[in-house]
């Protein structure tokens, strides 16, 4: 055998370490691995951009203050909450206080059990009784009604119930009586059942 051939055979018999082009310390995934990594990075950044676009679109269309979206319920300046069959607007204690100065709506306390109310409240109907006591609500389904409870949870349920009853102009005091008193305002106690 020639020396050239012996050298080839020796090299072929010697095990090589895995790697790109036989270079020690490489994994063999050099160009293919980095292309795959670039592809995943591009896909991930594309998903992030799409997510940001979806969030920005939602904020614009949902009527968050300062985003250019419209507010329903006579422009009370709150966040519109989409519901089954309609929507209501969450308003702040400051918004409600300003509205009470020139009151042109029905103020409805739906907290159960009764723990007090905001001065100027027209009706107390527990949220669980709204359907049964619907005759006490305004006959005009487009009349503005502001609902509240202690924290905003029961009044959100009440707002949905009112939508189910056909009402279309509903505001909900965001944070309820808790937010009202936290803003430095008082509750009154009446004998309501």
- The reply to whether 69 falls in a domain is no
CATH of the domain at 154: 3.40.250.10
Domain with 89, as residue range(s), is 79-182
Do 178 and 124 belong to one domain?
yes
- The reply to whether 100 falls in a domain is yes
Instruction: Summarize pLDDT for 145-157 with one digit per residue, the tens.
Output: 999 999 999 999 9
Given pLDDT bands bounded at 50, 70 and 90, which one contains residue 43? Answer: confident
- The reply to whether 128 falls in a domain is yes
Q: Say if residues 38 and 44 touch (Cβ distance below 8 Å).
A: no
| % the chain with pLDDT above 90 | 58
Do 35 and 122 belong to one domain?
no
Position 24 scores a pLDDT of 53
Do 52 and 95 belong to one domain?
no
Do 93 and 176 belong to one domain?
yes
Q: Three-state DSSP class for 61?
A: helix
Looking at per-residue pLDDT, the higher value among 10 and 170 belongs to 170
Count of domains forming the chain: 2
Do 36 and 107 belong to one domain?
no
Do 171 and 89 belong to one domain?
yes
Looking at per-residue pLDDT, the higher value among 48 and 85 belongs to 85
- The reply to whether 148 falls in a domain is yes
- The reply to whether 38 falls in a domain is yes
Do 57 and 87 belong to one domain?
no
Position 34 scores a pLDDT of 77
Do 50 and 98 belong to one domain?
no
Q: How far apart are CA 156 and CA 81, in angstroms?
A: 9
Position 65 scores a pLDDT of 37
Do 55 and 107 belong to one domain?
no
Q: How far apart are CA 121 and CA 142, in angstroms?
A: 19
- pTM beyond 0.85: no
pLDDT of 81 > 50? The answer is yes
Instruction: Summarize pLDDT for 64-74 with one digit per residue, the tens.
Output: 333 333 333 34
**Mean of per-residue pLDDT scores for the chain:** 80
- The reply to whether 1 falls in a domain is no
Do 111 and 84 belong to one domain?
yes
The H-or-E segment that residue 81 falls in is strand 79-83
- Is the Cα torsion angle 189, 181, 77, 149 positive or negative in sign? negative
């Amino acid at each position: 055998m020639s020396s050239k051939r012996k050298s080839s055979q020796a090299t072929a018999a010697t095990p090589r370490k895995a790697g790109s082009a036989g270079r020690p310390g490489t994994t063999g995934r050099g160009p293919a691995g980095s292309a795959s990594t670039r592809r995943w990075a591009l896909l991930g950044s594309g998903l992030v951009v799409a997510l940001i676009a979806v969030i920005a679109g939602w904020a614009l269309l949902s009527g968050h203050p300062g985003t250019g979206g419209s507010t329903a319920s006579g422009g009370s300046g709150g966040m519109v909450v989409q519901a089954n069959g309609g929507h209501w607007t969450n308003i702040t204690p400051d918004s409600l206080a300003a509205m009470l100065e020139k009151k042109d709506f029905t103020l409805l306390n739906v907290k159960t059990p009764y723990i007090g109310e905001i001065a100027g409240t027209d009706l107390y109907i527990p949220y669980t009784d709204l359907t049964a006591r619907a005759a006490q609500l305004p006959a005009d389904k487009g009349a503005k009604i502001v609902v509240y409870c202690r924290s905003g949870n029961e009044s959100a349920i009440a707002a949905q119930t009112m939508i189910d009853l056909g009402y279309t102009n509903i505001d909900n005091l965001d944070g309820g009586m808790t937010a009202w008193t936290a803003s430095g305002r008082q509750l009154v106690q009446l004998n309501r059942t």
